[in-house]
Amino acid sequence: MKKLTKSMIKLRIKPRENNTHKGHYGHALLVAGHIGFMGAAVITSKACLRAGVGLLTVQVPKDERFILQVAVPEAMLLMRESEEDDNFDKYSAIGIGPGLGTSKEAEELLLQILMRYEKPMVIDADAINIIAANHKLLELVARDSILTPHPKEFDRLFGHHETEEARALTAVKKAKEHGVVIVLKGHRTLVTYAGTSYVNYTGNAGLAKGGSGDALTGIITAFMAQGYKPYYAAKLGVYLHGLAADITLQNQSMESMLITDVIDNLGKAFNDVLS
């Protein structure tokens, strides 16, 4: 397994051109949040915007819409109960799962998107848990999609593992078998696709808190929307997410760090890589 390095990331990241507009940087859809878990939708949305997406629409329950509208005014909203927009193909990328819940309604929503959206997407959190409970859904996942499980979610999907090493070996195997990118989150996050794997060394234990994975989903979705190939979007997202957390230690401790602090430092992470 190779190591993700700054020089590697710098080669892949595309500096923003002056003579461009929002249409050049994609339109992402995030499907996230339900009652009591709207923080996940807010975190994912903020991270997606900080990672450079041109336009962002967030699909949320109608009764919870005010939370997003106030917390993330830059985002457009799509009411989950509405049938006014089922043309998912207009989106450059879709990220689904953070705070979504695992209800029958959530399962049906995931099924509909998997069936209607033919491009790769980012699948996280409760979307992974829904697939783990109904393995037939895994066959509907578009090739080159990105799955971002933490260890427990990974084990729900692919069976129990005794060690990190065993889990990593399974991740490499399953990514190749299903034609997807797997981002196995952990102390040293693994990104694997088609038999090629990279281990990330940015980041610290300040990320060992709720919300960190939601932010990563937003960042990766933003890169996908901007036209990066999924495997590169995953590597860029993982590296910059960790780097922003390392930069956050300049003003916070690992104990006091919040994922919103990390999101606020994404700009410094971009500048560090692009300098």
Is 149 within 8 Å of 182 (Cβ atoms)?
Answer: yes
Question: What percent of the chain shows pLDDT beyond 70?
Answer: 99
Q: What is the pLDDT of residue 50?
A: 98
User: Mean pLDDT over residues 149-178, rounded?
Assistant: 98
- When pLDDT is cut at 50, 70 and 90, the band that residue 191 belongs to is very high
pLDDT tens figures, 206-232: 999 999 999 999 999 999 999 999 999
Question: Is residue 81 over pLDDT 90?
Answer: no
User: Mean pLDDT over residues 151-155, rounded?
Assistant: 98
Question: Is residue 28 over pLDDT 90?
Answer: yes
What are φ and ψ of residue 69, in 5° steps? -60, -35
Question: Is residue 85 over pLDDT 90?
Answer: no
What are φ and ψ of residue 114, in 5° steps? -60, -35
Question: Is residue 129 over pLDDT 90?
Answer: yes
Q: What is the pLDDT of residue 82?
A: 76
User: Mean pLDDT over residues 135-163, rounded?
Assistant: 98
pLDDT tens figures, 252-263: 999 999 999 999
Q: What is the pLDDT of residue 84?
A: 59
Is 50 within 8 Å of 262 (Cβ atoms)?
Answer: no
Is 148 within 8 Å of 123 (Cβ atoms)?
Answer: yes
Return all residues near 19 (Cβ < 8 A) that are at least 6 apart: none
User: Mean pLDDT over residues 6-28, rounded?
Assistant: 96
Q: Which domains are present in the chain?
A: 2-12+22-274 (3.40.1190.20)
Question: Is residue 86 over pLDDT 80?
Answer: no
Question: Is residue 83 over pLDDT 70?
Answer: no
Name the E strands within 61-213: 76-79, 93-96, 122-123, 146-147, 181-184, 190-193, 196-199
In residues, how long is the chain?
Answer: 275
Q: Which two tokens stand for residue 179?
A: 């034609």
Question: Is residue 105 over pLDDT 90?
Answer: yes
Which of 86-90, 146-150, 180-184 is predicted with the least confidence, judged by mean pLDDT?
Answer: 86-90
Question: Is residue 120 over pLDDT 70?
Answer: yes
Is 27 within 8 Å of 258 (Cβ atoms)?
Answer: no
Residue 251 CB coordination number (10 Å): 11
Q: What is the pLDDT of residue 136?
A: 96
